[in-house]
Structure 1
Amino acid sequence: MARACARLFAHDDGRRLRAHLHALTLARHLGPDASDAALRHLEGQRALVAHLDRLIDEGRGSPAL
């Protein structure tokens, strides 16, 4: 699975998609009035993107952080 992710995200479209996912999740911040449900939802999204990042790094032969 790691090699497949590395291949998928190695091309221009994959890099654009990865940057988009980062912008939607990792670079997004909710305000102090955010509900518990909204916070949990965003954290779940962030966990999924972080998992993809780890798979990509593993597939490229980079050590996972």
Structure 2
Amino acid sequence: MRIEVDKEKCVGGGQCVLAASEVFDQRDEDGVVVLLTDAPGAELHEKVRRAAALCPAVAIRVIE
């Protein structure tokens, strides 16, 4: 699995952080997503898929 984020689309909703804080964070100044790792371990795949599904701006792309 590989992850891509589109920071231009991100609205700072924070759903990704709530779903997978091991993989996503937010910038303090504007809440835009910060990708902590673009290739998480298998134990995090389900959390990442959930984070992508919850993103209100569809700013997270999961490549299987």
**Band the TM-score falls in, shorter-chain normalisation:** 0.3 to 0.5
Choose between structure 1 and 2: higher helix proportion.
1
**TM norm structure 2:** 0.35
Using CA pairs below 8 Å that are at least 6 residues apart, which structure has the higher relative contact order? 1
**TM norm structure 1:** 0.35
Larger Rg: 1
Choose between structure 1 and 2: higher strand proportion.
2
